[in-house]
């Protein structure tokens, strides 16, 4: 069965880094979910305002459809997407059998440290607290959970080893 991996978690946890490495290992396409935000969402976040559910629904709908297209064609893919709330994960999953969530879990302190050293990203470190406040952590039934203190290669190997053992949302 074809799998589309959604690498999820708060900003700064390593979704894109791990996602690119996993896609390279699988020889498939990688999509950064941030690239699918409409310009008004990016402007809102760049101004220091967190997105609300109304802002997110059209963005999640685009990602849902892109995931569905890959699954219909039988093409694996990797998508980096925060998917902070259970209802967001449900929206992405609906009708998309073959979707596998991978939650990159880390402490606020570690992620803040990483974010303060990051250049050129619209998500400001000050907004990290709002992401943690919004986060509804998935359980091990819903997603493969990986501690971000692992190195990237180890995280990719954990994903590959555990990708068939999770049930849908």
Tell me the per-residue pLDDT of 1-17, one tens digit each, with 9 for 90 and over.
Answer: 789 999 999 988 999 99
| Alpha-carbon radius of gyration of the chain | 15
46 contact partners, CB below 8 Å, separation of at least 6: 122, 124
Whole-structure pTM value: 0.90
Q: What is the DSSP letter of 90?
A: H
Can you identify the CATH homologous superfamily of domain 4-162? P-loop containing nucleotide triphosphate hydrolases (3.40.50.300)
Q: Please determine, for residue 165, whether its predicted confidence score (pLDDT) is greater than 80.
A: no
User: pLDDT: is 121 or 87 the higher one?
Assistant: 87
Report the b/e string of 12-26 with b at 16+ CB within 10 A. Answer: bbbbbebbbbbbeeb
Q: What's the rounded mean pLDDT across residues 87-115? A: 94
Strands 29-32 and 99-105: unpaired
Instruction: Return the residue matching tokens 């694996």.
Output: 76
Domain coordinates in residue numbering, the chain: 4-162
Please give the Cα distance from 95 to 63 (Å, whole number): 13
């Amino acid at each position: 069965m074809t799998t589309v991996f959604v690498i999820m978690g708060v900003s700064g946890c390593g979704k894109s880094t791990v996602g690119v490495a996993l896609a390279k290992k699988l020889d498939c396409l990688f999509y950064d979910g941030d690239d699918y935000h409409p310009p008004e969402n990016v402007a809102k976040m760049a101004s220091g305002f967190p997105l609300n559910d109304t802002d997110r629904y059209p963005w999640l709908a685009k990602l849902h459809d892109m995931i569905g297209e890959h699954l219909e064609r039988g093409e694996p893919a990797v998508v980096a997407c925060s998917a902070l709330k259970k209802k967001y994960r449900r929206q992405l999953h609906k009708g998309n059998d073959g979707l596998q969530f991978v939650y990159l879990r880390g402490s606020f302190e570690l992620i803040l440290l990483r974010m303060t050293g990051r250049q050129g990203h619209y998500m400001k470190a000050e907004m990290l607290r709002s992401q943690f406040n919004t986060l509804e952590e998935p359980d091990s039934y819903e997603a493969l959970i990986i501690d971000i203190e692992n190195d990237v290669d180890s995280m990719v190997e954990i994903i590959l080893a555990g990708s068939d053992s999770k049930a849908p949302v």
